[in-house]
Amino acid sequence: MTERLYYDNAYLTAFEARVLELRPNGDHFDVLLDRSAFYPTSGGQPFDTGMLGGAQVVDVNVEEGLVWHTVTSPLTVGDTVRGQIDWPRRFDHMQQHAGDHMIAGALHRMMGGVTIGLHISEDVSTIDVAMPEGVTRISEEEIRRIELDVNEHIQRDVPIRCWFPTEEEVAALPLRKKPTVSEHVRIVAIGDDEMVACGGTHPATAGQIGLVKILSVTPARGKMRVAFVAGQRALRDYFRCHEAAHRAAELLSVKVEGLADSVAALQEKLREAETQLIGFRREQLLSRMNQLLAEAEILPDGIKMVACFVEADAMLLRELVSKLIEAPGVIALLGAATGDQCSYVFGRSTDVTADMGSLLRDSARPLGGKGGGRPDFAQGGGCREILAAACEMLRG
């Protein structure tokens, strides 16, 4: 068993240890020490990084009680090496993990939620919570209640205690949930109302977390996923939001508190402008019907083929094709491009026998598109080349 120094002192950043074993790991090497302050990936908390002698530590894992350090260059078995922990990374993980406990504790006390998983990524941390009656969402007001409870405990700087009690003591403790292990159970208590088994690293007091902010609460695999940031991450999130809100308010010449109303008013104006633009486009395109028919390609059987791209949404595209095929002897193949992808509507006059559904399907599929429909009217989508392919098929 590797002696894990972080259990006794999460603030230990430098230590000395003896190299017990070395094994190759691709371009790197795995090193086993007799003692270590490096935290291995466990319980949703990522591994520590830093240096061992002159080698960079890029991963830390635990195997059957042994802590293995993946390093960039080999060390010598039997040597004593100095370990140096990347403290900013370690302390960030301590803040996130303690924030997780406090949110989980508040959810359990106030709403009966049971946390079943933690994940700390580089920017956001998440916990999955099994809520009573399968609830997967909570209201904004309930989120604020959780945040206020957590941050009130942080502001009171309640103590955080980590220790290994006896089996008898564990059985008597008011734990938030039952431990997942039966031996060497480590308990973390935050203040008087949060206590759970945990092997992670934590600050000595809640005040060192600084701030906790819940970013979102969403359904995830039948559970409720809470995304949050704590400590410096929460401060950086505040900086970003503060700067973005004030910049937007400056651009709109309003105060920050009036930003939402101003954006809503702009959205309404934009919807009105888009409606007017669609109307103008419709009038313009409908006025070109005679011109499109006059410029149509005449196929060998005398059918007029109108094939082109226009600026239109799906509804207008269908209307244009419907108007064109009111005239006898017409096949209309119209497309509307949005970036690299296009929407298509194919149609034919009642006196034409060509099958539009088959035409669109046969021209689109070889080019990765899709479509189909009735013999007289079809819709689909795909790349720009579909229109040219359909025209060639009609030309025979």
pLDDT tens sequence across 138-190 = 999 999 999 999 999 999 999 999 999 999 999 999 999 999 887 889 999 99
**Residue ranges making up the domain that contains 118:** 91-235
Residue 284 pLDDT exceeds 90? no
Would you say residue 379 lies in a domain? yes
Give the strands of the sheet with 330-338, arranged side by side. Answer: 297-298, 304-309, 330-338, 341-348, 377-382, 370-373
The pLDDT of 97-121, averaged and rounded, is 96
Average pLDDT of the residues in 264-293: 89
Q: Are 366 and 383 in contact (CB under 8 A)?
A: no
- Counting residues of the chain whose pLDDT is more than 90, the rounded percentage is 89
Average pLDDT, the chain: 95
Percent of the chain past pLDDT 70, that is, above it, reads 100
Whether 210 maps to a domain, the answer reads yes
pLDDT band at 281; cut points 50, 70, 90: confident
pTM of the entire predicted model: 0.75
pLDDT band at 250 (very low <50, low <70, confident <90, very high): very high
Tell me how far apart the alpha carbons of residues 380 and 370 are, in angstroms, rounded to a whole number.
6
Tally of domains within the chain: 3
Same domain, 58 and 179: no
Domain boundary among 62, 85, 108: 85
Say which CATH number the domain at 376 has.
3.10.310.40
| Rounded CA separation 122/235 (Å) | 15
Region of poorest pLDDT, from 39-43, 145-149, 189-193, 315-319: 315-319
Final residue of a domain: which of 173, 203, 235? Answer: 235
Q: What is the CA radius of gyration of the chain?
A: 33
Same domain assignment for residues 107 and 70? no
Amino acid residing at 22 = L
Same domain as 128, residue 81? no
Asked if residue 240 is part of any domain, the answer here is: no
* 27 and 103 inside one domain: no
Question: Does residue 335 form part of some domain?
Answer: yes
Over range 228-246, report the average pLDDT.
96
Please give the structure tokens belonging to residue 32: 């086993």
Position 49 scores a pLDDT of 98
Give SS3 for 13.
coil
Task: Say if residue 293 is in the same domain as residue 172.
Answer: no
Tell me, what CATH number does 58's domain have?
2.40.30.130
